[in-house]
Structure 1
Amino acid sequence: MSLGALAADANRVGLSVRGAFHPNAEDAAPNGTQTLVMIGPDEPQFWNVFTASPEYQDRKAHPLDRWSKRVTHALAAPFGAVALFPYDGPPYAPFLRWAERTGHNWSSPVGLLVHAKAGLFISFRAVLALPDRLDLPTAPQSPCTTCATQPCANACPVGALASNTPYDVPACVAHMRSPEGAACRQGCLVRRSCPVSQTFGRLEAQSAFHMRAFLGE
């Protein structure tokens, strides 16, 4: 068993490994876990895979969560892994802490997580808790350390996401519901401003899907 084999299997179903680490007693991993692996969408193929699925096409509630559970449980089984999901709870698994523990995800200037390849478009569909201690690659450097302009800090038109300030959710929602928020409804301008995000391949249709879900539409 190897992380590369798991990553290859994940890619075949529209997913990707977005970091992994060996948990300690303070990480609240399931008993017997030797490696925790963060799983996120593999852009841009993920959107085409998901929209072709029965979960998307049946027009029932929570299609992405239902798809994620079906696909991730199937991905986990050959590795003897337990699949964990960010929306199962309470109690909820500490996904953000786990993401940072991998050394592949960091806090950005606006507080959102940033990933070396996904930029501010990083997201997680699941975590796999494996019983084997896998060899892990060397962690890269945060892209923010070499980003001279940091456009994310000033990209939000109403300052709901900015440097050194808490996320102002009401201001964000109010703006998106207004006529002036049309561009934001196609994808968060802060996330889109990140130079790494712009090379990631996230499709606008996918971002719009997530924004509608955020607004409860």
Structure 2
Amino acid sequence: MDYDTLIDAAADCQLSVVGAFHPGPDDMAPDGTGTLVILAPREPGFWRHLQTQPEAQDGAPDMVDRWSARTIGALAIQLRAEPLFPFGGPPWHPFITWAKRTGSIHASPVSLLVHDRQGLMVSFRGALALRERIDLPPPPLTPCLLCAAPCETACPVDALSEDGYDTSACHSFLDTQDGADCMENGCKARRACPVSQRFDRDPAQSAYHMRHFHR
């Protein structure tokens, strides 16, 4: 197993490796984990691919989580790894902490996580706990380093800042007519990120997640 093989195997499942690290005893990874790998939707094409899958056509709830469990579960068998998910708890796996440990995912000026290729649109479908300690490339610098941070002023109700996320203000705004843009196309702060604008995520996917967030 090497890093390139891992990337190719994930890509075959319409997934991207957005970070990996070698866990220590305080990282709450499964015992014996040599490398922990974080997986996200692969773009372009993730949402279009998902619509062809059984989970999107059977009328049952939580199609994205169910697709993730099936697909990453099968990938884990292929790679002889343990699948881990950010849903299905409690108990909950510390995905935010794990993401930051990769060095590829950072806290942005609005406290949301940001990735060098996916920007503020980064999301996690699951993780793989590999027994092997595979060699990893050096992590990239945060894309926020030389950015003018348009995300800081994009939210109409200033719900996002370096101090955290005012979810009450966000939900109240989404209930208004002006909130329709965020509901239909995704969070304005996330979309303002220059890296997010280069990341070809289908607005229908953002709308799906916004509906689940705001229900």
Alignment: residue pair count: 214
Contact 1:13 1:49 (C-alpha < 8 Å) held by counterparts: no
Structure 1 position 82, deviation (Å): 0.3
Identical-pair percentage:
50
Structure 1 residue ranges without an equivalent (≥5): none
Aligned to 1:151: 150
Contact 1:13 1:71 (C-alpha < 8 Å) held by counterparts: yes
Q: Does residue 1:184 correspond to 2:182, yes or no?
A: yes
Structure 1 window deviating more from structure 2 (83-92 vs 29-38): it is 83-92
Structure 1 position 191, deviation (Å): 0.3
Q: Does residue 1:42 correspond to 2:42, yes or no?
A: yes
TM superposition score normalised by structure 2:
0.97
Give me the CA root mean square deviation: 0.9
Aligned to 1:203: 202
* Residues in 1 aligned to 2:132 and 2:21: alpha-carbon distance in whole angstroms: 12
Structure 1 position 62, deviation (Å): 0.7
Deviations 1:135-168 (A, max 9, x none): 1001110000010x21000100011113x33211
* Residues in 2 aligned to 1:104 and 1:214: alpha-carbon distance in whole angstroms: 25
Structure 1 position 88, deviation (Å): 2.4
Aligned to 1:215: 214
TM superposition score normalised by structure 1:
0.96
Aligned to 1:56: 56
* Residues in 2 aligned to 1:179 and 1:198: alpha-carbon distance in whole angstroms: 24
Aligned to 1:101: 101
Deviations 1:119-139 (A, max 9, x none): 000110001000001110011
- Amino acid of the structure 1 residue aligned with 2:9: D
Deviations 1:16-66 (A, max 9, x none): 101000000000110110000000000121111111111011121111100
Q: Does residue 1:20 correspond to 2:15, yes or no?
A: no
